[in-house]
Structure 1
Amino acid sequence: MSGHVFVSPDALLAAAAQLEAVAHRMQATLDASAPALHLPPAGTEEVSILTASHFNSIADSFLPSATTGIAELLGAAATLRKQAAEYEGQDHSFGTALAAGM
């Protein structure tokens, strides 16, 4: 059984565009929502202060993780774009070689 893989650079570019769109939507949502993730204590008693502190510490751990996820999506999109360009380059080289009778 011979294995052949068909790669469509256009499909890779479309996937990259979709990943970038998701990353940009996530960033916009994060930018809009980040201030609301931190809240002041509802009162001055210990329970309100500890509850606010707990929620704020969760927000403080979530924000860097979300930013990392966005960067990873953009990195994956860049990789797909690079691979699409490499496939197009190889296809062009093979086409030139075939046209030259090599």
Structure 2
Amino acid sequence: MYTSISGVPFAVFQLEKTFKTTFSLLVLHMWLVLRRLKEEGKDGVKFGQYIYETYNHDVELRVSKAGVNLLLTKWMKELEKIFYGNIVKYDTAISQEARQDDLVDVIWR
């Protein structure tokens, strides 16, 4: 699914091309996609689950390519925690109670 990420966000925002940065951008993108699909109801949620499973497989491949084969299960659990933690932060940042700049602040963290 994600064979590469364009260099544009890295150059524009002066980001390092590291696993952590790439993963953060993928999480942000997945949040946007899943949030939009959720608006489509049951079928959107079902398709979102399929996309999430594909994304998870892609992350496993990226972790393996990074040479973390021995601890793959541990890494995947940690990355999944980060994924869901970020999703909650993004959702909170766009809630009605959120301040105008909350989403920007969360993304930059």
TM-score range, shorter chain: 0.3 to 0.5
**Structure number with higher relative contact order (C-alpha < 8 Å, ≥ 6 residues apart):** 1
Structure that is richer in helix per residue: 1
TM-score by length of 2: 0.35
TM-score by length of 1: 0.37
* Bigger Rg, which one: 1
